[in-house]
Structures are given as C-alpha cells and as structure tokens.
Amino acid sequence: SPGGSRAVYTNHWAVRVSGGAAEAERLAAHYGYLNLGQIGNLEDYYHFHHSKTIKRSTFSSRGPHNFLRMDPKVRWLQQQEVKRRVKR
C-alpha cells in the first residue's frame, strides 16, 4: 500500500477471463457479481461489482463469492483498492 497507510478495499473487482464476454457474464451471474463490462479497451479484462460486499473496508473481502478466484476460467483477479490521488 502506498506510504505504508492501510489499503482501502472496495466492492469492485477486475477479473481477467478467458472465453470472452459471454463467459464473463456467466461467471458474474454464477458467483453473485454484477458484470459492468470490459475495462476500457483491455481485452479479457472485466469489471465486476459485488453489491453484498461492503463498499469500503480495510480488509479484503471474504465469503463464497471469492470462489470466483478459483474458477478455471479466471486467469487473474484483483479486488480494487482506493488509490489516493492529488491534483497537481
């Protein structure tokens, strides 16, 4: 985490899925996420939202929805952290 301060986790995930949009949709539905679509123009990366996970937490999320991580179709997964950004 930057500067040693504790990470703040959100209820958003970046998921790298092999199998395209349909597969992403299936995975989201299966594990209780909402698929917010591809992340910009990054192929295979999808934006998932889990409404049952607390919006801000200093702990990374636990629960069955984390089984998504182990799904063979998931190549990479990252729970999103809030990054502190300042204007120059």
Partner 1 sequence: RVRRNPNFASFNDPLWPEMWYMHCEDNDSECRSEMNIMAAWQRGYTGKDVVVTILDDGIEKNHPDLVQNYDPRASYDVNGHDEDPTPRYDASNENKHGTRCAGEVAASANNSNCIVGIAYNARIGGIRMLDGDVTDIVEAKAIGTKPDYIHIYSASWGPDDDGRTVDGPGRLAKEAFEKGIKEGRKGRGSIYVWASGNGGREGDHCSCDGYTNSIYTISISSTTENGNKPWYLEECASTIATTYSSGAFYERQIVTTDLRKRCTDGHTGTSVSAPMVAGIIALALEANPLLTWRDVQHLLIKTSRPAHLLAPDWKTNGVGRRVSHLYGFGLVDAEALVVEAKKWQTVPAQHICVGTSNKKTWVIPANKTVRTATVTNACADQLDHHVSYLEHVVVRVSIAHPRRGDLQINLISPSGTKSQLLGRRQHDDSSEGFKHWEFMTVHCWGEKASGEWTLEVQDKPYHVRNPEMQGKLKEWSLILYGTVEPPSSNVNSQHSRSRMMEMPSSDMEPSKVAFFQTQMEMQEEEEEYTGPCHTECGDQECDGPSADQCLNCFHYSFGSLKAGRKCVSSCPSGYFGDSVQRKCRRCHRSCETCLGRSQNSCTTCKHGFYHHQETNACVMLCPAGFYAEMGQRRCQKCHPNCKKCIWEMDRCTVCKDGFSLVDNSCVMGCKAGMYLIKEPVRCENCRSNCRTCTGPGREDCTQCGRNSHDWKCVPSCGENYYADAVPGLPYKVCRRCENNCTSCDSSGKKCLQCKEGFSLFSGSCVANDRCRNTDDLFCELVKSNKLCERKILFQFCCRTCLLAG
Applying CB under 8 A, the residues found at the interface with partner 1 are 2-5, 10, 12, 14, 36, 39-42, 45, 47, 56, 78, 80-88
Query: What is the closest distance, in whole angstroms, from the C-beta atom of residue 24 to partner 1 in the complex?
Result: 14
CB atoms inside a 10 Å sphere around CB 64: 8
Query: What is the closest distance, in whole angstroms, from the C-beta atom of residue 43 to partner 1 in the complex?
Result: 9
Contacts of 45 (CB under 8 A, 6+ apart): 14, 15, 16, 17, 38, 39
Query: What is the closest distance, in whole angstroms, from the C-beta atom of residue 57 to partner 1 in the complex?
Result: 12
Give which of 85, 83, 75 is closest to 14, Cα–Cα.
75
Cβ proximity to partner 1, 71 vs 81, nearer residue: 81
